[in-house]
Structures are given as structure tokens and as C-alpha cells.
Amino acid sequence: MTRTLRIAMNGITGRMGYRQHLVRSILPIREQGGVTLADGTLVQVEPVLVGRNETRLRQIAAEHDIEHISTDTAGCMTADDIDIYFDAQTTSRRFSALSAAIAAGKHIYTEKPTAETLSQAIELARLAKQAGIVDGVVHDKLYLPGLVKLRRLVDDGFFGRILTMRGEFGYWVWEGTDVPAQRPSWNYRAEDGGGITTDMFPHWNYVIEGLLGTIRTVYAQTETHIDERVDEQGLTYKATADDAAYGIFEVTTPGGEPVVVQLNSSWDVRVHRGELVEFQIDGTQGSAVAGLRRCVTQARANTPTPTWNPDLPDPNDYRSQWTDVTDTDLQNGFKLQWEEYLRDVAEGRTHRYDLLSGARGVQLAELGMRSSAEGRRLDVPDIAL
């Protein structure tokens, strides 16, 4: 038996919506014939492209053999034949769109941040719970091979007692003067919802939750290192949003053990690491370093005994002393979560990464900004709906 879920996809003319969600996720799912449920039922997908730029929508539809487009977002919300509303718009448009979709009884799947403020994010989670829909928030990084391996090591007890996790994320984003910027200019204007803290702290929230446990406190320092940039029209503008954020988080594992997490995010750093983001977990019995794809480990038995002596060359080749973790299937993380979410919708069960998890991400970003402004560590309270 086969059934079809029609998905109104709003924001697919943007980089992330188009590349990762349409081209790398929904279209491959369509091409493979859909997803299979536990009882053997096949669930196919049919995208409906939604947006304000009709010309661009028609171009994308023609290129990818998509039958339906619409510039009437409100009409898609109330259409009886739409099952799921997906949102990849800019954050400033998300709350009103998601609220309308929930009110119309549509299942929703959305990029993050889920809203501009914590109160809005909590309201969305409350509305979704009251409506009884299946709501999901994109937590793509947890589905990528490197972090899947890292989570498996945690589950297997490889680390012993986990002590710390450190992470480095970022790359050099051109100012737009001699080389065009590779990120949109709104990312660097606070008045347009820009800033690396609001962008990345929701990611760090679900990564920490997914790997280690509950975040209890946050201390952050945010900076605007480059305060003048050039936009898409070649005009110089004032960068009013933070382009770097340095955070320290106190985490409690499910077993009640404390872990210190340090994560740095920057659009002003040149890459000298294996991948654009890397996480290192250190424990009493071993350590691991994971990017989005690769993961290497060093067990206690293989740990060298370095001796600090600045007067002699260090005989250790430290990188060669780590062991690769066996590769998993290198599928796109966005696609894998879409498949899980679609199965949850078809079978009427709660998606594990819902709007409440999205609200916790917004909360962490708000607290990070406040921590930096006030120069102090802040508690992260539980959210009650």
C-alpha cells in the first residue's frame, strides 16, 4: 500500500532551503519511492513550492519536475490536501507562519531558530501540543556520521566518566570588499535577526543535549570583530550583529555527573582543523574527536605520557596516535531526519526533536546574549508548557 504526504515548502529559494531540504532531502526521498513504515506501507512525498518570488519558484519547479507552486502562503495553510508545512524562511517570518499552520491543523517541520524570542518559541510549542499535530525541528548535525559515532561511543561507555567537551566551529567569511561574501548580509545586522549567537547556540543546545545531557549554566562572550562589510549590491554597511561567540556551559549527564563544555563559534577564523566543526570529548578511560563525518579515538591504554620540555623537540607525533572509528553510511543528515519525521507523521507519533527542543535552543541563545551583556554566568531554567 502507498500513501502520499503533500508538503508545502516555504523558503526553498534560499540557500539552505533549496540545497539541503529540497535537492538533498525531499527530491531524493521522492526518487527512491518514499519511506517505508514498519508495516510495509510506502509513504511517498509531493512537494509544493511556496514563496514570494513566482519567477524563481517556476524555475525551480521546471528544473526538478515539481508540479505545484504557490505564492499564496495563507491559502496553502488552509488547503485540505496539504499535510505538512515546512519553513526555511528568515527567522523574522517564522512565528506568524508556523502559528497559522498549527491553527490550520497542519503538521509542521521547521528550521531554527523557531522564533525570534523565547516567549514566541514557547508559545509555538504550546500551540502544537494543544493542536495534537506532529511538530519537528531540524537537528541535522546529530544525524551526521561523525556525531553518530560520537554518540555511539558515549552509549558504549568508551569514555568512562566524561569530564569535558570542547568544540571549534567557524571559517573566514569575506567582508565583501576584494572577495564577495559567502554569507548573506542580513546575517551581520542585528535588526534583521542576524548574529552568530542566535544562529549557532540553538545548534549547540541540541548537540549538547543529544550527546551529553542537560545544560544547567551558560557563560558567553560575544564579539563583532569586523564592524563594516559590503552587501549584495556592493554597498558598505555597518555590521551590528555579533560575528563570534565564545561559550562555556555546565552540563549534567543523565547519571547526574557534571561535564564542562566549551564551544567557540566564529566567522572570523581561518581553518586549521580537519573539518569546519570539530568536537573533542575527554573522559577517564578515553577521548574522541569528531567532525561532521570523521571520528577518531584514543583509549586510556594508548594514551602517551608527554613531558614538557621546551628545550628539546617533542618526539611524539600526536595525530598518528589516534584510531579511526569505522565509517557509517555517509548519508545526508538532513535527509535522514526528514525520513524519521515523515515516518512519525505517517504513524502519528511524537517526533523526538519537537518545538520544545527548538524553544530550548532559542532560550540558550537569549541567555548567551544576556550573559555577554551582563558579564556573568547564568542559570538555564527548565521550560514548562
CATH number of 145-292+294-329: 3.30.360.10
In whole angstroms, give the CA distance from residue 260 to residue 248.
7
Q: How confident is the model at residue 78 (pLDDT cuts 50, 70, 90)?
A: confident
Contacts of 374 (CB under 8 A, 6+ apart): none
Q: Where in the chain is the domain with CATH 3.40.50.720?
A: 2-139+334-352
Query: What's 39's DSSP letter?
Result: T
- Of residues 15 and 48, more confidently modeled: 48
Average pLDDT across the chain, whole number = 96
Average pLDDT over residues 188-201: 94
In whole angstroms, give the CA distance from residue 267 to residue 169.
9
CATH number of 2-139+334-352: 3.40.50.720
The tens digit of pLDDT for each residue in 62-71 reads 999 999 999 9
The tens digit of pLDDT for each residue in 318-377 reads 999 999 998 766 788 999 999 999 999 999 999 999 999 999 999 999 999 999 999 999
The 3-state DSSP class for residue 280 equals strand
pLDDT (0 to 100) of residue 328: 62
Q: How confident is the model at residue 207 (pLDDT cuts 50, 70, 90)?
A: very high
Average pLDDT over residues 236-257: 98
Q: Where in the chain is the domain with CATH 3.30.360.10?
A: 145-292+294-329
The tens digit of pLDDT for each residue in 24-57 reads 999 999 999 999 999 999 999 999 999 999 999 9
CA-based nearest residue to 65, from 4, 22, 112: 22
